[in-house]
């Protein structure tokens, strides 16, 4: 499992960029944790539950591979500093 401390600012831990399915606009976030079934990240964009996203995850350690997780948002809650804490179910993963 890749994980970053929940106190990290965006860009620390694992970098994450995402876009809603079928759209080209890309948004940034900070991956807090990921396992075989769930992705948790922070972003300044609201992500509505039920929406599908493609999230490209780039580990900052330089050792783990870059990959894209295709996810379905299950929860989006306000966090600190005008950010949102997003929980999503992983539906598929593709190595980049």
Whether pLDDT at 8 is above 70? no
**Structural domain of residue 52, as residue ranges?**
2-95
**What is the pTM (predicted TM-score) of this model?**
0.80
Radius of gyration of the chain, Cα coordinates, nearest whole angstrom: 12
> Which structure tokens are listed for 74?
């299950």
Per-residue pLDDT at 6: 41
Domain count within the chain: 1
Whether pLDDT at 11 is above 90? no
Return the exposure string of 46-84: e unless at least 16 CB atoms fall within 10 Å of the residue's CB, then b.
Answer: ebeeeeebbbbbebeeeeeeeebbebebeebeeeeeebb
pLDDT tens-digit map of 33-92: 888 899 999 999 999 999 999 999 988 877 778 899 999 999 999 998 889 999 999 999
**Domain containing residue 21: CATH number:** 2.40.10.220
């Amino acid at each position: 499992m890749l994980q970053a401390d929940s106190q990290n600012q965006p860009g620390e831990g694992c970098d994450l960029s995402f876009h809603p399915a079928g759209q080209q606009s890309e948004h940034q976030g900070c991956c807090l944790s990921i396992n075989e079934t769930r992705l948790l990240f922070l972003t300044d964009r609201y992500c509505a539950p039920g929406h599908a996203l493609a999230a490209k995850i780039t580990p900052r350690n330089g050792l783990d591979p870059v990959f894209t997780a295709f996810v379905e948002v299950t929860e989006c809650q306000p966090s600190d500093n005008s950010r949102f804490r997003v929980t999503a179910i992983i539906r598929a993963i593709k190595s980049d």
